[in-house]
Every structure is written in C-alpha cells, then in structure tokens.
Structure 1
C-alpha cells in the first residue's frame, strides 16, 4: 500500500511518518527539505523563488511516486503528497500574488501531465493543526529559514488544507486533529492514532 501523510508546516508529518514506519515496519519516503536548493531563498523572497521551489518539489514528488510504483510488494508511508503542491502551496502563492498567473498556469499544465501517469495513495492521513500548534512545532524544530513564516501565510494554507480534505474523492482520507496530541512523546496519543489507522486500514 501507499500511505501518505498530509498537513501544514509544523503539523508533525515527518514525525508521524517515521513512527508509523517503525510501528508497522513500513518503508518511508521523506520530503526533500534538507539540501533543498531553493527553500531558504524562498522564505527570504517568495515572489522571486516561488515557481522554482514548486517545480523542484513537484519533480521530487514525481520521483517518489515512481519509486513507490516500483516497490510492488512493500507498503510505503510518504511524507506529504503531490496534491498539496498544486492545490495548496502553489495555489496559495498564485492567490496572494506571489506567483505570476502565467507561471501558475504553466505549473498546473506540468502537474496535470505528471499526475495523469501516477496513482493516488491508498490512504491519506490529514493532520489537522491550528496556528498555535503549528507555531510551537516550527519553533521547536528550529529551522532558521522557517522563523520568518507569517501567521497569515500559515492561516491561508490551513484554509486550503481544509478545502482539500473536504473535497478529496480519490480514496480514503483519515483526518486526525493533532492540536491536543503529542504523539511523539506520549504513547497514549500515538496509540490513539494507531487505533484510527487500524480502523481505516481494516486491521484488527
């Protein structure tokens, strides 16, 4: 199976992907953050680097999708989905004027060409987190380039995530409200997520 974790910056996707892979003995594919040649520049000047960054992430996600397809007999948990690139991050940049309309249309044509060749995840897990939770997590992990992210930017993304979750029709989507959960440190909180995962996956 292909299990994908989705959610805003700081929602806990990477941590959950790691813990699920350890619990279920699944393979895991992480988002290309470390070593990303555009990310730090993007947070300094979003308008200048938005298209470059989104194309980099789109290519990275497509490469992961191809790898997942080649792993026929293994279950893989993926940190973030290709859908978020187009319908949340790139859309937000276009909506707020930080990506030119012609660049966004060019991006969408490339996105559609790519997604026509790949399959949707078997299950998407959406980690729902409000602004205070996101802020605490961003501060906790201490990436310098993320400290300049504005509240408005995060709130815009949250709105687009909610819209995406409500209208997603390509497979099961499990929503987990993580505002009051500490699944990294609290075994009971992680156990709750495992219970929800088992119900969604049909495990007993």
Structure 2
C-alpha cells in the first residue's frame, strides 16, 4: 500500500508520518533534500529558471513514486508529487514566475507521468488554519522559515484546499488539526488511527470517542 500525508508547511506532516509508521510498522518515506542544480540560478533570476527548477523536482518526485509502486512494503510518504504540482508549482505560476507556455509544458509532462502510475491508497490531508501553521512554525524555530511572508503561507493554504477538494481524484481522509496535539496526546493520535483503519480496512473503534 501507499499512504501519503498532505498538508501545508507547519501542519505536522513529518510528525504524523513518523508516528503512523511506528504504529503500523510501515516504511516512512521523507522527501529527499537533495541539491537541486538549478537552485542557485533560480534565486538569481527566478522567471528564467523556474521551469528548470520545477521540472527537476518533478523528476525526483516521479522517481520516488515509481520506487514506492515497486515496493512490497506499505510506504507512508511525507508529501507527494501531487502537492508539488498543484500547490507549489501552481503558486510559482500564480506569482508570475512561469509563463503560460512553460506551465502548459510542465503540466503536459506531469499528466503523461500520471498515465503509468496510480493514486495512493489513501491521502491524509492535515487541514490547518494559518494561525495554527504560524504557531507551529514559530515553535519549531527553523531559521529559514521565520521570514516566510504570511501572504505566501495563506496562498499555499488556499491552494491546498483547491487541490484536495477540486483537483485530486484519489481517496482522501481530511483531519482538522487546529485542536489536535497528536504528537503529545496518545488519545488524539488514536482518533486519527481509528479513521485510518476505517478508510483502509473498514474497521472502527469500539469506543466512540
């Protein structure tokens, strides 16, 4: 099986991926933070190098998807190729960094890739408000995230909503995380596990909590 965790920056994707992998004995797959050979050029001239940058990321995520498809283990993935396309590349396009021609070429490549792979068995979408995301980002204190513009985070959130509810055609479990602390509260993690069980195996908890 292939399980994907989706959600904006600061929503808790990596934490939930780790916890569910431990609970079920699944293999966690985290997005590689490998060097992108276009990154340096991209920041010098964003419109010129956006297509190159995005195609490289697409290639790497597609390789991950092919490897997951071939695995005999159940893989739980922190962020999927779909978010890279419908959220982050779409945001780059909306900011004027990709021309219509370049974006059409990119989407044509992505759609061709999708002809030979299938959707994850379940995508778990961690739905969070912007204030909740900001609080989590501040709490974990990564220097490179502290200067992230609020408008950018809000834009990403809007695109996540559009992606999940309008564009993505696979099976989705939506988890509202604003009032959850599944990292420190085992009962709240158990509530998520019950929902995952129900979606994957048709099982429900004996307790209605």
Helix, strand or coil: the match of 2:132?
Answer: helix
Shift of 1:60: 2.1
Give the aligned partner of residue 5 of structure 2.
5
Normalising by structure 1, report the TM-score.
0.88
Within the alignment, does 1:28 sit opposite 2:35 as a pair? no
Say if 1:130 and 1:179, in contact at 8 Å, map to a contact too: yes
Give the aligned partner of residue 16 of structure 1.
16
Distance 1:38 1:7, change over 3 A: farther
Distance 1:125 1:39, change over 3 A: farther
Distance 1:11 1:187, change over 3 A: same
Say if 2:194 and 2:203, in contact at 8 Å, map to a contact too: no
Helix, strand or coil: the match of 2:117?
Answer: coil
Which runs of no fewer than 5 residues in structure 2 stay unpaired? 205-209
Give the root-mean-square deviation of aligned CA atoms.
Answer: 2.4
Which stretch has the larger CA shift, 175-184 or 102-111? 102-111
Q: How many residues align?
A: 202
Distance 1:138 1:152 in 2: 15
Helix, strand or coil: the match of 1:93?
Answer: helix
Which runs of no fewer than 5 residues in structure 1 stay unpaired? none
Say if 2:42 and 2:50, in contact at 8 Å, map to a contact too: no
Give the aligned partner of residue 61 of structure 2.
61
Say if 2:29 and 2:76, in contact at 8 Å, map to a contact too: yes
Larger radius of gyration: 2
